[in-house]
Amino acid sequence: MTAPTFRPEVTILSSSWKKRSSELAYVTRSVAGAASRCARLKIFVQSECADIEPDGAFDVVGIQAEEHRWPELGSERWYRRPHASSVWIIDEPSQDAIALLDAQQSESAVLTIGSSEGARGRPLPHLTMTPASSADTIAFGPYVPVNPLATASRHTGFGFTDYILVLTDRSGHPSVDDPTPDVAWLTSRFYDEYILVVEGGRAAAWKGRALRGVVDVHTRTDLWRLLAHARVTVDLGPGSIIGRECIESLRFGTPIVVPADSVAAEHTRSGGGRTFDDVGGLLEAVELLIDEQGREHTSRRALEYATFYADPRFSVGQMTKVLHGI
């Protein structure tokens, strides 16, 4: 008879779970998905009410939170109290989250997804979302899906491809007639190229320093089509956890250009893109990557690197190693 496979108890504490637009929520859900395949999983999320809530493949325990803080463990706002667990995973290691663990008086292992700098001086190992790892990190690659059919046809709103795609760092719905300084420099320097600027759920086409048209980006598939048919993707404000859009771009073999001080800079070290510190560096990086010969090599390296994020079985395998190695 085959011995039963050991499945550790894992408890996730998430303050970001319901913030669907945040990258931390996306990564936390990816971590939960991988953990659910190799562990017995409980998920506690900050909520407007205390209740058990079905959420996709999960039943999450909603804990009523005020001002986005975890209540004390003895509070009536705990619909269900967390029990002893072999591993705790916290998406945001805030002071109240650490106090919660202290109240448990548990010797369980603790991992964090976000930075652990706010943890009252308590050092906590954290999952790193890139292939690289160091003494205080554990490599885990969240599965980042894309639809390969996005390469089959361009976005229907534009009659051209091979543009320079720019994801800006502006939030909300800024005026498309007033581009960011970086976009203004790009459309000036690359006068004969189309510069496609995505922000606020819209894509604006610039050429020769003139706005040529605007279309809506309704779905993720719309964005994937834009990424798949670009010569290069410039992400001026990549996410602070994994830089999701950068990974999606690399999965299509489209090189990336990102700020040197961003998390996404790690994705360029394999040769799938370049970083910049200032406007001059941005223009130089784009110029190198739109060169046909240079781009072919960089595109191949981008695809090789992105395999880390392309296979859900690999993601589950990495999580299994994490949970069985601590």
pLDDT in tens, 28-78: 999 999 999 999 999 999 988 888 888 888 999 999 888 889 988 877 788
The answer to whether position 3 is within a domain reads no
The whole-number pLDDT of residue 1 equals 40
pLDDT attached to residue 51: 85
State whether 192 and 296 are in the same domain.
yes
158 and 119 belong to one structural domain: no
Give the residue with greater pLDDT, 292 vs 121.
292
Same domain, 97 and 114: yes
Task: Name the E strands within 26-78.
Answer: 40-47, 51-55, 58-64
Please give the Cα distance from 101 to 13 (Å, whole number): 10
- What is the domain count for the chain? 2
Per-residue confidence (pLDDT) for residue 3, from 0 to 100: 45
Query: Do 206 and 232 have their domain in common?
Result: yes
User: Is 229 found in the same domain as 279?
Assistant: yes
Backbone angles phi, psi at 48, to 5 degrees: -80, -20
Any domain includes 4: no
pLDDT at residue number 303: 95
Contacts of 269 (CB under 8 A, 6+ apart): 132
Sign of the C-alpha dihedral computed for residues 85, 91, 97 and 102 taken in this order: positive
The answer to whether residue 207 sits within a structural domain is yes
DSSP-derived letter for residue 5 is P
Written as six digits, the tokens of 109 are: 């292992």
Q: Provide the CA 284 distance to its chain's centre, in angstroms.
A: 26
Contacts of residue 213, Cβ cutoff 8 Å, sequence gap at least 6:
157, 158, 204, 205
Distances (CA, A) of 72 to 75, 104, 123, 322: 5, 11, 22, 29
Confidence of residue 203 (pLDDT cuts 50, 70, 90): very high
Tokens standing for 203?
A: 């894509």
Q: Tens of pLDDT along 274-316? A: 999 999 999 999 999 998 877 889 999 999 999 989 999 999 9
Residue 118, pLDDT score: 47
Q: What mean pLDDT, rounded, does the chain reach?
A: 88
DSSP class of residue 196 equals: E
* d(C-alpha 102, C-alpha 50), whole Å: 22
Note whether 217 and 133 are same-domain residues. Answer: no
Q: What pLDDT was estimated at residue 134?
A: 54
- Same domain, yes or no: 289 and 239: yes
Distances in Å between the alpha carbon of 177 and those of 46, 68, 93, 199, 211? 39, 37, 40, 12, 7
3-state secondary structure of 55: strand
Considering the domain architecture, whether residues 162 and 248 belong to the same structural domain is answered as: yes
For 125-174, write each residue's pLDDT tens digit: 777 777 765 555 667 889 999 999 999 988 988 989 999 999 999 888 88
The amino acid at residue 240 is S
Q: Which residues pair with 197 in a beta bridge?
A: 166, 204
Using the 8-state DSSP alphabet, how is residue 171 labeled? -
- For position 294, what pLDDT does the model report? 76
Q: Tell me: do 203 and 317 sit in the same domain.
A: no
Residues 294 and 239 placed together within one structural domain of the fold: yes
Instruction: Report residue 215: phi and psi, to 5°.
Output: -130, 160
18, part of any domain: yes
Structure token digits, residue 217: 């980006």
Predicted confidence at residue 137, as pLDDT, reads: 61
Q: Is residue 1 situated within a structural domain?
A: no
Q: Specify whether 247 is located in the same domain as 319.
A: no
Same domain? 56 vs 124: yes
The pLDDT value given to residue 248: 97
Range of the domain at 76: 9-142+312-324
CATH number at residue 210: 3.40.50.2000
